[in-house]
Amino acid sequence: MAGRHPKQQIIETNMRKLCDALDEYLEEKYEEAYPLHPNRTERGKAGSVAYDGLFSTGTKFTLGYGSKSGRGYLVDIEIITLEKVHQQMRETIEHDAVDFLKEHISDYFPTRELDIIKEGKVFKIVGDFSLGSL
């Protein structure tokens, strides 16, 4: 990732590791809940947990313009199936995901004050993303 500040690269790498751990957790808990999309490989068959199994998780940085909480990382949880995922089940999965993130975020960012909030329909990791601390 040319041109990125080294501390920003550490943040991005740790976000990916946190999302990979979240993906593994959701796969363990819900892997039998829905059939995989036909174009999706089974869990553990791709080079990254983001590309196989029932879930794909990740984050996207936002500057937070128009947001009450400001900048942060939007949490993306995709369920890769052709089946209809009912709203109640989606909310259950999201609740479990947020609980996991809140419990484990300090493992990946031990020196930062971070929290997971819901803003509108999205979940967001907010807090200290300054490049002056690790």
> Kind and range of the H or E element at 20?
helix 6-30
Using DSSP's 3-state secondary structure scheme, residue 133 falls into coil
Q: What is the pLDDT of residues 63-112, one digit of tens each?
A: 988 888 889 999 999 999 999 999 999 999 999 999 999 999 999 999 99
Rounded to two decimals, the pTM is 0.87
Q: What is the pLDDT of residues 49-68, one digit of tens each?
A: 776 789 999 999 999 888 88
The CA R_g of the chain, rounded to the nearest whole Å, is 15
Looking at this protein, which amino acid is placed at residue 79? I
